[in-house]
Amino acid sequence: MATEIGIDLGTSKTVIFSSSKIVLEQPSMVTVDSETWDPVYYGEMAKNTLGRTPESLICVSPIEHGVIADYDITELMLKEYMQKAFGNKIVRPQIIAAIPAGLTELQHHSLANAVESGGGRNITVIEGPLAVAFGLGIDFTKPHGTMIVDIGAGTTDIAVITLGGISVCDSFKTASNNFDSQIIRYIRKEYNIEIGELMAENIKKTIGAVVERPIDIAMMAKGRNLYTGLPESFEITASEVFEAVSEPAVMICEAIRSVLSRTDPDLVADINKEGIYLTGGGSLIYGMNRLIADYTGTSVHMLEDPTHSVVRGAAEALKHPSMLKNINYQLRSIKELTFE
């Protein structure tokens, strides 16, 4: 029997799923030697070095906004993760990899190839939102509109699905990482303090909000005073974070509205009746579902396990090979494409 493996190569995290469970979950990050570009640390270890590397090392995020920014590092990282998850004991692996919707053919090809050289033969690729729809158990045999919104670290994937295919989609380049960068900017401007990326993410996860909280909360944070150059602790409130992240949050809502405005009216009617399915780690910030509901006038369902819905759905899709064949996402057909 072939080993069925699902891979989600996300901007922030790589997740591998096999035998009904998550077998690996690591940041999509590699620390390399700044001269030779040889990898030194992968994943969690690499993320811990973020903002703390000596000159001889660089921390690289090989996936940016859902697409490969550094091909060689992506390939090395995938090899390392496959080895870590399975050792040498994979028997005839059958791999399905989730990719963002709306990639160009070249980006599509490059991602699929990296998975192949990092993982083995027999690879299928599936667009992330479609994988989520498989996971939701949506009936692909009937014409019916379903909207999936996946707010990841570097992209917000927005797609309308019908009959097992994508009707309208956008891989919008504003997502949860933009909340972090806005928090960094806000604190620099209001407090003259520079905070690191990890601190910004921590603030977002702990007290972040895209709608105002009924009761304001606060936390202590640490950074470097830009005037004195010395470390400094300060208090930051949820309402300040709300002010900082409002702009990208609204941009995400506008992008969803724009996809709806390009969608066939009958499909929009289905979505309006059924509600929008919201997933991705970025959807976990307080109030994101409510903000989207307000902007679109449509109810919003949050998926239960938002950081794993893509990889779980992709693995589910492998159980329906006939459906996948219909949609023609076989790597073989991608490889036959030629590029100018």
Binding site for ligand ADP (CB under 6 A): 10-13, 152-154, 176-177, 201, 204-205, 208, 280-282, 284-285, 307
CB of 86 to ligand ADP, least distance (A): 21
**Binding-site partner at residue 281 among ligand ADP, Mg ion, none, CB < 5 to 8 Å by type:** ligand ADP
> How far, CA to CA in Å, does 91 sit from each of 94, 119, 121, 222, 332?
9, 12, 11, 49, 20
Residue 100 interaction partner, one of Mg ion, ligand ADP, none, beta carbon < 5-8 Å per kind: none
Smallest distance, Å, CB 284 to ligand ADP? 3
Query: Residues 6 or more apart from 280 whose CB is under 8 A from it?
Result: 149, 150, 151, 152, 156, 157, 175, 176, 306, 307, 309
- DSSP-assigned beta bridge partners for residue 302: 278
- Shortest Cβ 97–ligand ADP spacing (Å): 13
| Segment near Mg ion (CB under 5 A); pick from 148-156, 162-170, 180-188, 298-306 | 148-156
Judged by beta carbon distances under 5 to 8 A according to partner kind, the member of Mg ion, ligand ADP, none in contact with residue 201 is ligand ADP
**8 Å CB contact between 24 and 8:** no
Residue 31 touches which of ligand ADP, Mg ion, none (Cβ within 5-8 Å per kind): none
Q: How many other CB atoms sit within 10 Å of the CB of residue 262?
A: 13
Both tokens of 265, joined, read 């009216």
Handedness of CA 152, 280, 30, 75 (dihedral sign): negative
Taking CB under 5 A as the criterion, the residue among 7, 9, 10, 96 binding Mg ion is 10
Indicate which of Mg ion, ligand ADP, none lies near residue 144 (CB less than 5 to 8 Å, by partner kind).
Answer: none
Nearest CB to ligand ADP, comparing residues 9 and 82? 9
Considering only CA atoms, which of 250, 262, 242, 261 is closest in space to residue 294? Answer: 250
Q: Which is nearer to Mg ion, 14 or 207 (CB)?
A: 14
Asked if 152 is part of the footprint of Mg ion (rule: CB under 5 A), the reply reads yes
The three-class DSSP label of residue 276 is: strand
Question: Using CB under 5 A as the criterion, which residues of the chain lie in contact with Mg ion when the complex forms?
Answer: 10, 152
